[in-house]
Structure 1
Amino acid sequence: MNTSQRAQYEEQGFVILRQFLKPALFQEIKDEINQVGRFIVDPRFDFDTYQPEIMTPKKQSQLYDRLHYLPCLSRLSGNQDLLQACRDLGIAQPVLMGCCNMRYDRPDDARHLFDWHQDTIYLLGSVNAVTIWIPFGPVDAHHGTIQVIPGSHRAGIHPYRKVSDKPVEPHRQFLQRDLSFDGEISEPPVTVEALPGDVIIFKQMLLHRSLPNLSDKVRWTAQVRISDLCEPGYLEAGCPNGDKHNIFFQSYPGFVHPESVKHEN
């Protein structure tokens, strides 16, 4: 990774590494997903084809739940090139935040899109934790992608509000349906454009949102999230993660919890 890429990452909160991953890795993942899809969904399942006639909501949910546990995705989360890229960006001792995840975004389906948010709110992690976003096809305003607000990570945790009736208790996980960004976006967003082989790495503090898939293809993407075991305070705080901690009982530098929310029952 060159000096300008590192500087962009620190200034804007994200960097795109062009043609970083080898095609053979993508084919390995496709082949394994095809095997699982043909077992769970239908023998006609094909990774590269949108098949609404066989991908019912129930089948999609069953497939999506199994994607978290595929061996090939676990290997992706431990890919040495990705981990070295994290080290180059200042992650002294990379540690995984849960397993690798994969998204399956249908054409013209907005139900699972995320509005403006910071991954830190839901997933916690070290102050310098990162999300590695890996597209398996072209991503842009037509195929669906993410938009980011460059530099928004420098403000730390942005205001948020609780939008569900889930009680605030220790060790209770909060998801996107529970917490929402509670601020105004005045800066122009950047729409990420990338091709298979490209890797987008962004700070978990960066404000970002997903855009709808307007194409006639499924948008497949993988997400790997990495914390830094050596980040000051991370080990002392108990290595917070979204499955065992939540933002109401976890502090970050310069952030004050909304008192009216933190103490409600």
Structure 2
Amino acid sequence: MEIKSRREEFERQGYIFCKDFFSKDEIDNLWENIKLSDIEENTFRWDQNRLQFHTHFLNRNHKIRDLIAQSKVVDLLSQIVGANIWVRFDQAISKDPGASMMPWHQDNGYTRLKHTYYQVWIPLTKMTLENGGLLVQSDNYSANQKILPHKYVDGFFVCEKPPNKSLFIEAKPGDIAIFSSLLLHCTTPNTSNESRWSYVVECLPLNCFDPLVEPPYFVMARDGKPYSKFVRFFPQRLNPINVLKYGWFKLKNVWYCWLRPVVRHILKIQS
């Protein structure tokens, strides 16, 4: 599948949206394998259980890995993220009837990461204004967007400077959106009678580190080609500069994310 370059569009608005990117069979298979992966095993619930985050499917299901790391996905992502890509997190999100608005935020407001990462957003059901669909900032975005102040309100991190203008992403199964973690976005209340579902994969270039993520790491692309393998190490994990960058972590995180891997790596070389 030939992918038209979307890099300039992404840098201008902080996201791209592609209609009919996946076939019906691909979405049906994704949905089925999410359901087969013990969907309740890793679940976080907010908003009186009406907003649910079901996580870590890539670790448990090779068919989902194959779909996410296939050539057309890598071709599209490589234009935006770069040629070498790993996945920090994946989750299926359900928003049930009666769920409230998820307020305006940047994803960095939750993770506290100091660099941009990238959301691959795949609707599993139709997304509407009534059922909790996605709104994104449509003004004042730039490629040099900064992390904005957030405050904690009723279980959510809320940006203190919401956008003046927004755009609703009207989407259906088969579509895909990719947006920057620094792009302001929110989801509307679900005032409908049906749950809405999406599947989200969060990606980073291999030259970026995330101290929140434990090994093994799923590398979806190398040199712009599908890779789809788990690794224990990559160079930025062993870089001491990252310890300084994320000095706000507790000492045990520093040990786990840097010192312990270095010690193990040295012992492996000597053995």
The two structures have a TM-score, normalised by structure 2, of 0.64
Contact 1:97 1:241 in 2 (8 A): no
Contact 1:125 1:227 in 2 (8 A): no
How far apart in 1 are the matches of 2:27 and 2:145? 36
Query: What letter matches 2:93 in structure 1?
Result: R
Contact 2:134 2:186 in 1 (8 A): yes
Q: What per-residue deviation string (whole Å, max 9, x for no partner) do you get for residues 108-136 of structure 1?
A: 222xx521111123335673421011001
Cα drift, residue 103 of structure 1? 0.7
Aligned to 1:240: 210
Change in 2 beyond 3 A, CA 1:79/1:101? farther
Change in 2 beyond 3 A, CA 1:243/1:95? closer
Aligned to 1:182: 160
Identity %: 18
Aligned to 2:70: 79
Query: What letter matches 1:10 in structure 2?
Result: E
Cα drift, residue 36 of structure 1? 5.8
2:108 is aligned with 1:108? no
Change in 2 beyond 3 A, CA 1:69/1:186? closer
How far apart in 2 are the matches of 1:225 and 1:66? 11
How far apart in 2 are the matches of 1:117 and 1:142? 20
Over aligned residues, Cα RMSD in angstroms? Answer: 3.6
Change in 2 beyond 3 A, CA 1:66/1:13? closer
Query: What letter matches 1:219 in structure 2?
Result: R
Query: What letter matches 2:108 in structure 1?
Result: T
Aligned to 2:129: 141
Q: Secondary structure at the match of 1:116?
A: strand
| Structure 2: gaps (5+ residues) | 41-47, 215-243, 249-271
How many pairs were matched up? 208
Change in 2 beyond 3 A, CA 1:136/1:65? closer
1:63-212 pair list within 5 angstroms: 64=54, 70-71=60-61, 72-98=63-89, 100-110=90-100, 113-123=101-111, 127-150=115-138, 151-152=140-141, 154-161=144-151, 163=152, 177=155, 179-183=157-161, 185-212=162-189
Q: Secondary structure at the match of 1:121?
A: helix
How far apart in 2 are the matches of 1:213 and 1:142? 6
Bigger RCO (CA 8 Å, 6+ sep): 1
Contact 1:124 1:240 in 2 (8 A): no
How far apart in 1 are the matches of 2:7 and 2:118? 14
Q: Secondary structure at the match of 2:97?
A: coil
Displacement over 4 Å in runs of 4+: 33-37, 65-70
Contact 2:33 2:64 in 1 (8 A): no
The two structures have a TM-score, normalised by structure 1, of 0.65
Q: Secondary structure at the match of 2:202?
A: strand
Cα drift, residue 69 of structure 1? 5.5
Q: Secondary structure at the match of 1:152?
A: coil
Aligned to 1:27: 28
